[in-house]
């Protein structure tokens, strides 16, 4: 599409949020791409290179692990295939967005000194790049790496312990969401509110934006680099929002390989040897030597972990040590515990590569939605990731459903890596995603519920229960009152640990005083609470003492294998997040939980207790491709099981890198009464006026008003 600036207009509200108006939907997609490139050129180029596995070329050796995974996983190739399969209209729409990005990158890059600092020069995007960014953003979303941890735990503690560390707690992603029907609001129309929980990044992972043309006028939260408003949007008469369904829809297969060079074969489910695609790619590394990457793909999917034993063999059968136990052993041969990802050759089977579909046709359909029925139909084409959805319209329509592609297969596939040569582990079609009527408040907080048949591990019910409790407190809700729900810091998961304290006898005076203080605590991880800080110190001591117990000795070692999976494979965080369940589990009878908790209480008491407000130690630490070492990040209230879900890692750190990546309140009575906020701001350029202007408000769980009146916006020259 040609750069016809007269065909669209750019406006800004007081927070620098772009409001775009164009003559038709293709020019609008172009405008969205161009405005995003102007505001976030650095972010777009980082995400493009990460999706292509080329980020180490300007970010250095620390990015090699991700680049290797992206290439082995074949993210870019998957995106190309999915793009080729798009219908003509969707392809044109995505292409218009890419044209806008390409026309805006130079001006955007000129605003951001990080390009000069790293020597990165923007290059034109190809039409499939938005699909690659979407795939890269969500490939780890469903947490298939948890299967590596379950395998590791089972090898160390026995098969019955595979789900011992099932946290029913946070992984890499979660969210809150709630739908208040019109009979519970002041206006008689529904309100949808909530917040997606992700790792906080600088620039932010969500972009506030409004896009308007004669066909539609929609505002919401976009993923930079992807056209439309996939996850959160308000069309004026209808609105939708999502949370992670916690569904399991990606499988790991233990592969038995033989051969070398280009003549590699894999043992298939029919007992025969199948050809394996193989080629090599080269990762360029800034300040370092190039890295060669072997890319293999079996009939199941790309090989993302290669057994060192198998890879070292030249000719003959590669991988015999991996699968030597044969098909009777569902996990392959029993390698030493702690070396799971190093001693198995694993392929990844994931729906977008199998179906050649990332669900992009749903995105323009959502923009055109006027009713809940329109949203429902659009979501029938949703693919990745699998979400729980709330939707409502101004006529009283309500929707609570799951959307996405979940394969039908043997239940064992959901738990651990399974043998590729066993036919019972093949995929057998696709699950029907459930829906249910909205009765009273509809709440989604990653807990067991509507999506239960599709997953294994879910969040504990604490956030969902607390939201329902808070919503039940009044009958005439309005948008502004929703900030109180967002800000709630009650930590129900503290109770099982604190419940052990009354039984302890003969404590030291300091231990008895600390026990009394903790039992009198109101269980709120409030920003100004010193009691919350003391509880966190006690919890940390408990987690570390449990982790040091000899029963877990075979899990103490550092993870091996690909670095990208290491966050899932450390013992201390696993115990920290699974603490509530571990304290009650009948497994591991030799683990004296009460003794460890008592010792942790005395340890914390002897240390004097960090008598400082929680926000002094619970500080935001966002991820950035080039960290800003001079930035001063705020302290926060909340914790991982609070509605204000600012996740620390119990036993490891009180800092938080994962929290609400945005907050929203969609009012179906008057869209102009809606509210939203992001952790930083609308502009991705460090030091610009709107880069971090929302940060202080976000830290206090306050929201900024949505502006819909064009006369209250400032028109920008383009």
Angle at 397 between CA 394 and CA 403, to 5 degrees: 120
**Mean pLDDT of the region 62-90:** 98
Instruction: For strands 174-180 and 291-297, give the pairing.
Output: unpaired
Dump strand ranges (E) for 507-649. Answer: 647-649
Do 331 and 417 belong together in one domain? no
In this predicted model, what pLDDT tens digit does every residue of 579-621 receive, in sequence order? 999 999 999 999 999 999 999 999 999 998 788 999 999 999 9
- Measure the CA–CA gap between 62 and 50, rounded to whole angstroms: 12
Q: At residue 29, does pLDDT exceed 50? A: yes
Reference 319, options 249, 405, 255, 391; nearest CA is: 255
The DSSP secondary structure of 352-382, one letter per residue, reads HHHHT---TTHHHHHHT--SHHHHHHHHTT-
Residue 307 lies inside a defined structural domain of this protein: yes
- Measure the CA–CA gap between 607 and 161, rounded to whole angstroms: 34
Do 593 and 617 belong together in one domain? yes
Instruction: For strands 277-283 and 273-275, give the pairing.
Output: unpaired
Do 508 and 616 belong together in one domain? yes
Position 371 scores a pLDDT of 98
- Is the peptide bond prior to 203 cis by the omega test (within 30 degrees of 0)? yes
Position 5 scores a pLDDT of 59
User: Final residue of a domain: which of 323, 353, 383?
Assistant: 353
Strongest mean pLDDT among 52-66, 296-310, 433-447: 52-66
Do 506 and 610 belong together in one domain? yes
Residue 572 lies inside a defined structural domain of this protein: yes
Instruction: Please answer whether residues 609 and 558 qualify as being in contact, where contact means their C-beta atoms are separated by less than 8 angstroms.
Output: no
Q: At residue 320, does pLDDT exceed 60? A: no
Percent of the chain with pLDDT over 90: 86
Assigned token pair, 687: 């030091």
User: Final residue of a domain: which of 605, 634, 658?
Assistant: 658
Q: 């009044």: which residue's tokens? A: 474
Kindly report which listed range (78-92, 296-310, 579-593) carries the lowest average pLDDT score: 296-310
Rounded to the nearest 5 percent, the helix, strand and coil shares of the chain are: 35, 20, 40
- Measure the CA–CA gap between 560 and 566, rounded to whole angstroms: 8
Do 342 and 382 belong together in one domain? no
Q: At residue 1, does pLDDT exceed 70? A: no
Position 335 scores a pLDDT of 30
Cα dihedral 233→247→565→297 (10° resolution): -100
Q: What CATH code is carried by the domain that includes residue 587?
A: 1.10.1400.10
What is the three-class DSSP state of 491?
Answer: coil
Q: What CATH code is carried by the domain that includes residue 221?
A: 3.60.20.10
Do 532 and 467 belong together in one domain? no
Do 155 and 188 belong together in one domain? no
Residue 412 lies inside a defined structural domain of this protein: yes
Residue 681 lies inside a defined structural domain of this protein: no
In this predicted model, what pLDDT tens digit does every residue of 633-645 receive, in sequence order? 999 999 999 999 9
Residue 588 lies inside a defined structural domain of this protein: yes
Reference 152, options 341, 308, 303, 305; nearest CA is: 341
Q: What is the CA radius of gyration of the chain?
A: 25
Q: What CATH code is carried by the domain that includes residue 288?
A: 2.30.120.10
Q: At residue 332, does pLDDT exceed 90? A: no
692 Ramachandran zone, left/alpha/beta (phi>0; psi -120 to 50):
alpha
Do 533 and 641 belong together in one domain? yes
**Mean pLDDT of the region 427-434:** 95
Q: H or E stretch including 482?
A: helix 482-486
Q: How many domains does the chain have?
A: 3
Q: At residue 328, does pLDDT exceed 60? A: no
Q: At residue 467, does pLDDT exceed 70? A: yes
Instruction: For strands 251-254 and 418-419, give the pairing.
Output: parallel
Do 464 and 364 belong together in one domain? yes
Residue 30 lies inside a defined structural domain of this protein: no
Position 568 scores a pLDDT of 92
| Length reported for the chain | 718
The domain of 231 spans: 174-246+357-486
**Mean pLDDT of the region 500-509:** 97
Reference 230, options 662, 690, 624, 647; nearest CA is: 662
Do 162 and 231 belong together in one domain? no
In this predicted model, what pLDDT tens digit does every residue of 474-498 receive, in sequence order? 889 999 999 999 999 999 999 999 9
Position 627 scores a pLDDT of 86
Position 325 scores a pLDDT of 30
Q: 């129900």: which residue's tokens? A: 492
User: Final residue of a domain: which of 452, 486, 520?
Assistant: 486
Position 648 scores a pLDDT of 93
In this predicted model, what pLDDT tens digit does every residue of 376-415 receive, in sequence order? 999 999 999 999 999 999 999 999 999 999 999 999 999 9
Question: What's the pLDDT band for 173 if we cut at 50, 70, 90?
Answer: low
Position 313 scores a pLDDT of 39
Question: What's the pLDDT band for 336 if we cut at 50, 70, 90?
Answer: very low
Question: What's the pLDDT band for 224 if we cut at 50, 70, 90?
Answer: very high
Position 18 scores a pLDDT of 98
Residue 164 lies inside a defined structural domain of this protein: yes
**Mean pLDDT of the region 281-292:** 98
Dump strand ranges (E) for 404-507. Answer: 418-419, 442-444
Do 369 and 441 belong together in one domain? yes
Percent of the chain with pLDDT over 70: 93
Instruction: Please answer whether residues 259 and 169 qualify as being in contact, where contact means their C-beta atoms are separated by less than 8 angstroms.
Output: no
Position 473 scores a pLDDT of 85
Do 298 and 165 belong together in one domain? no
- Measure the CA–CA gap between 428 and 699, rounded to whole angstroms: 46
Assigned token pair, 681: 């701001």
Residue 107 lies inside a defined structural domain of this protein: no
Position 309 scores a pLDDT of 57
Q: At residue 330, does pLDDT exceed 50? A: no
In this predicted model, what pLDDT tens digit does every residue of 663-685 receive, in sequence order? 999 999 999 999 999 999 999 99
Instruction: Please answer whether residues 242 and 404 qualify as being in contact, where contact means their C-beta atoms are separated by less than 8 angstroms.
Output: no
The CB density around residue 473, as the number of other CB atoms within 10 Å, is 10
């Amino acid at each position: 599409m040609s750069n016809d600036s007269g065909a669209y207009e750019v406006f800004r509200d007081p927070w620098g949020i772009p409001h775009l108006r164009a003559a038709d939907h293709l020019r609008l997609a172009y405008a969205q791409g161009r405005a995003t490139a102007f505001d976030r050129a650095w972010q777009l180029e980082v995400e493009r290179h990460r999706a292509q596995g080329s980020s180490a070329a300007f970010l250095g050796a620390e990015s090699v692990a991700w680049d290797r995974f992206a290439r082995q996983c074949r993210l870019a190739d998957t995106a190309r295939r999915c793009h080729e399969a798009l219908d003509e209209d969707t392809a044109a729409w995505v292409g218009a967005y890419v044209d806008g990005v390409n026309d805006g990158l130079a001006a955007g890059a000129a605003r951001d000194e990080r390009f000069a600092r790293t020597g990165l020069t923007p290059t034109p995007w190809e039409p499939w790049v938005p699909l690659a960014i979407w795939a890269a953003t969500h490939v780890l979303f469903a947490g298939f790496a948890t299967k590596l941890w379950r395998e590791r735990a089972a090898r160390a503690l026995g098969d019955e312990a595979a789900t011992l560390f099932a946290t029913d707690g946070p992984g890499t992603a979660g969210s809150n969401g709630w739908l208040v029907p019109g009979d519970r609001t002041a206006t008689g129309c529904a309100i949808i509110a909530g917040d997606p929980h992700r790792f906080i990044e600088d620039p932010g992972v969500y972009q506030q934006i409004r896009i308007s043309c004669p066909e539609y006028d929609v505002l919401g939260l976009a993923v930079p680099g992807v056209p439309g408003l996939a996850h959160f949007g308000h069309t004026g008469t209808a609105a939708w929002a999502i949370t992670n369904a916690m569904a399991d829809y990606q499988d790991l297969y233990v592969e038995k390989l033989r051969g070398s060079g280009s003549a590699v074969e894999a043992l298939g489910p029919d007992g025969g040897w199948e050809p394996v695609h193989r080629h090599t790619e080269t990762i360029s590394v800034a300040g370092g030597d190039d890295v060669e990457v072997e890319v293999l793909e079996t009939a199941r999917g790309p090989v993302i972990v290669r057994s060192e034993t198998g890879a070292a063999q030249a000719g003959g059968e590669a991988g015999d040590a991996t699968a030597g136990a044969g098909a009777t052993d569902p996990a392959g041969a029993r390698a030493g515990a702690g070396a799971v990802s190093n001693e198995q050759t694993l392929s990844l089977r994931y729906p977008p590569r199998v179906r050649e579909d990332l669900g992009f046709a749903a995105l323009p359909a959502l923009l055109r939605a006027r009713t809940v029925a329109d949203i429902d139909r659009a979501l029938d084409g949703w693919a990745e990731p699998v979400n729980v959805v709330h939707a409502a319209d101004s006529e009283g329509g309500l929707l609570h459903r799951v959307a996405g592609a979940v394969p039908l297969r043997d239940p064992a596939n959901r738990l651990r890596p399974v043998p590729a040569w066993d036919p019972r582990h093949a995929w057998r079609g696709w699950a029907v995603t459930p829906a249910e009527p909205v009765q009273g408040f509809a709440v989604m907080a990653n807990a067991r519920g509507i999506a239960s048949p599709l997953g294994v591990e879910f969040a504990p019910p604490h956030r969902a229960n607390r939201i329902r409790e808070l919503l039940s407190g009044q009958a005439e809700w309005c948008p502004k009152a929703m900030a109180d729900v967002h800000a709630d810091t009650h930590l129900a998961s503290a109770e099982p640990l604190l419940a052990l304290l009354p039984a302890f006898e003969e404590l030291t005076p300091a231990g008895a005083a600390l026990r009394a203080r903790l039992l009198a605590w109101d269980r709120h991880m409030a920003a100004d609470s010193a009691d919350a800080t003391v509880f966190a110190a006690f919890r940390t001591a408990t987690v570390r003492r449990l982790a040091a117990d000899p029963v877990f000795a075979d899990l103490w070692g550092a993870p091996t294998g690909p670095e990208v999976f290491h966050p899932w494979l450390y013992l201390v965080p696993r115990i920290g997040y699974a603490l509530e369940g571990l304290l009650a589990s009948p497994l591991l009878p030799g683990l004296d939980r009460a003794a460890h908790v008592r010792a942790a209480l005395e340890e914390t008491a002897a240390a004097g207790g960090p008598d400082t407000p929680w926000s002094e130690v619970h500080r935001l630490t966002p991820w950035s491709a080039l960290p800003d070492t001079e930035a001063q990040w705020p302290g926060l209230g909340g914790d991982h099981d609070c509605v204000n879900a600012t996740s620390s890692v119990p036993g490891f750190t009180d800092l938080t890198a994962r929290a609400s990546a945005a907050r929203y309140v969609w009012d179906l009575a008057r869209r102009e009464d809606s509210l939203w906020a992001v952790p930083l701001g609308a502009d991705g350029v460090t030091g610009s006026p709107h880069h971090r202007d929302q940060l202080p408000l976000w830290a206090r769980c306050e929201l900024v008003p949505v502006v819909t009146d064009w006369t209250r916006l400032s028109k920008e020259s383009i």
